[in-house]
Structure 1
Amino acid sequence: MQIETFITYMTLTVLGLLPIMNPPSAATILLGLSKGRDRNYMVTQAKTAGVYLFIALCITFFIGASVLELFSISIPSLRLGGGIIILVIGFNMLFPSAKSDGNSPGQDSIALVPLTIPSLCGPGSMAMVISLAAQIASYEDHDSIVSVYTGVVAGLGVVTLIATFTLTMAYPLLRALGQNGIDAFTRIMGFLLICMGVQFFTLGVQEIVLEINELLAWQ
C-alpha cells in the first residue's frame, strides 16, 4: 500500500466532506429533540448515529450511484426529499407542540432519522461521496487503487469520529444553557433548519429546471 496516496485521499475525503456534513447542525437537532432526556440517552443516540453514519457513507461510496440509478433517483430529487425532511424537522423545533415535551419513555430513536439521514448524511454529503466514487472509478493507476480506496474509507472513519464527538458534546451544552436557554436555542436552530431545508429544496428545483432546459435545447 502506498502511504502517500493513502494519506492524500484520506485528507481529501475529510476536508471535502466535513464542511458539507456540518456536524454542529446535527448536534443542535439532537439537542432540540432530546429535551427532558438524560445523559445516557443523548450519548447512546450520538454513538448509534456514528455507527449508522459510517455504514451509510460506505454504502453511498461503494454502491450509492448504483442504488440511485436502480430506483431512477436523481441528485436533484435527493435534494428535494432531503429539503422536505429538514423543513419538517425545523418546523417541529420552531413550533413545538404541547405534547412533544420529550419525556415519553417510549420515544423512538432519533439516531437514524433525523441525525444520520438527512442531517449528517444528506443530499450534499451523498452527492460529494458519489462524485468521489465516480472519479476513482476512472482512476488508471491500478497499482495504487487499494491505497486510494483504503484512504477514502479511512477518511470516512475520521469524519464519523469527529461527528460522533460533536454529538456527544451536546449534553454539556444542554447543561450549560439550562431549560430556558435550550428552548430559545432550539427555536433559533429550528428557524435555521427551515432555511437550510428551503435552500436544499431550491437547489433541487434549480437543477431540475436546468435539466429541463438542456433537454429542450437538444430538441
Structure 2
Amino acid sequence: MNLETMLTYLSLTVLALLPMMNPPAAATVLLGLSKGRDKAYMVTQAKTVGCYLFVALCITFFIGSSVLELFSISIPSLRLGGGIIIMAIGFNMLFPNSDSTSTTPSQDSIALVPLTIPSVCGPGTMALIISLAAELAMQGEELQTLSVYTGVVLGFAVVAAIAALTLSMAYPLLKLLGQNGIQAFTRIMGFLLICMGVQFFTLGITEISQEIHALLS
C-alpha cells in the first residue's frame, strides 16, 4: 500500500465532500426539528448521523451506480427527488403547524431522515460520489487500487466525524439564541432550504431537458 497515495485521496475526498455536504446547514435543521428536546437527545442524534453518514457514503460509493441502474434512476431524477424532499422540509420549517409547537415532542429519530438523507448526504453529494466511483473504475488498471480505495473510505470516516461534531454543537447554539432566536433562525433556514430544493429541482429539470434535446437533435 502506498501511504502517499492513500493520504492524497483521503484529503481530496474530504475537501470535495465538505463544501457539498455543508454540515452547519444540517445543524440548523437539527435545531429546528429538536424543539423541546434536551442536550442528550441532540448529541445522540448527532452521533447517529455520523454512523449513518459513513454507511451511506460507502454504499453510494461501492454500489450506488448499480442501485440507480437497477431501478433505472438517472442522476437528474435523483436531483429532482432530493429537491422535492428538501423543499418539503423547508416548508415545514418556514410554516410550522400547530403540532410542531406542542410541548410534548415526538420520540421519533430524525438522524436518518432528514438529517443524513437528504440534508447532509443529498443528491449533489451522491452524484459526486457516484461520478468519483465511475472514474476510478475506468482508471482501475492505472491506479494503486488498494491505496486509493482505502484513502477514499478513510476520507468518508473523517467527513462523518466532522459532521457529527458539527451537529453536536447545535445544543450550545440553542442555549445561546434561546427559543425565540431559534424560531426566527429556523424560519430563515427553512427559506434557504426551499431555495436549495428549488436549485436541485431546476438543475434536474435542466439536465433532463438537455438529454431530451440531445435525443431529438
Range into which the TM-score falls when normalised by the shorter chain: over 0.9
In structure 2, the partner of 1:186 is 186
Q: Any idea what SS the aligned residue of 1:99 has? A: helix
> Residues of 2 paired with 1:68 and 1:139: CA distance?
21
One-letter amino acid matched to 2:125: S
Instruction: Give the conservation status (yes or no) of the 8 Å contact 1:37–1:103.
Output: no
1:30-64 deviation digits (Å, cap 9, x = unpaired): 01000111001101111111111000000000000
In structure 1, the partner of 2:149 is 149
Instruction: Give the conservation status (yes or no) of the 8 Å contact 1:34–1:102.
Output: no
1:74-106 deviation digits (Å, cap 9, x = unpaired): 111001110001111001100111111264354
CA drift at 1:108: 1.1
Instruction: Give the conservation status (yes or no) of the 8 Å contact 1:37–1:102.
Output: no
Q: How many residues align?
A: 217
Q: Which runs of 5+ in 2 are unaligned?
A: none
Q: TM-score, normalised by structure 1?
A: 0.96
> Residues of 2 paired with 1:114 and 1:102: CA distance?
20
Instruction: Give the conservation status (yes or no) of the 8 Å contact 1:94–1:187.
Output: yes
In structure 1, the partner of 2:9 is 9
Q: TM-score, normalised by structure 2?
A: 0.97
Using the aligned pairs only, state the percent identity. 73
Instruction: Give the conservation status (yes or no) of the 8 Å contact 1:58–1:156.
Output: yes
CA RMSD of aligned residues (A): 1.2
In structure 2, the partner of 1:51 is 51
In structure 2, the partner of 1:97 is 97
| 1:140 to 1:179, Cα distance in 2 relative to 1, 3 A | closer
Q: 1:44-193 to 2 correspondence within 5 Å?
A: 44-101=44-101, 103-141=103-141, 144-193=144-193
In structure 1, the partner of 2:27 is 27
